[in-house]
Amino acid sequence: MIEVKDGALLAGRCLCGAVTFTAAPQGGMHACHCESCRRISGGVSLSVNCGDSVEVAGPVATYDSSEWAERQFCPACGSGLFWRLKAGGMTMVSVQAFDDPSIFAFEDEIYIDSKPANYDFAGDRPRLTGAEVEALYAPGED
């Protein structure tokens, strides 16, 4: 595994190639076990935060998945590509969409309390519950 330096511009694409992108990952790979990620990806979602650095060529479709986030995918092949905070500042990019997904270190797991009992990832890393994640990223009550 090659260590990705923050700010390094990497390329990726959807399955059919209709959508291509470049992005500068910030840190390592995150595993999300929330129900939405599991349903949209067919399993655990593995992604990397690229902030607002994502540059996209080609059409993307957007699904409004919550009050505070949206998901983007290729309208031709259906590849899930991006999860974005509506307020900006965070775009999680599917590591499998990058040209070389093996370069990302496994950093943490989120929504660990939503993970089904039929799988576990080995190794020690931070594991946050859904409430802990939402306290960090969801908009506060006014």
Q: Give pLDDT tens digits for 51-64.
A: 999 999 999 999 99
Distance CA 46, CA 103 (A): 13
Distance CA 27, CA 7 (A): 9
Distance CA 12, CA 140 (A): 34
Q: Give pLDDT tens digits for 83-105.
A: 999 999 999 999 999 999 999 99
pTM over 0.85: yes
Check residues 3 and 117 and name the one with the higher pLDDT.
Answer: 117
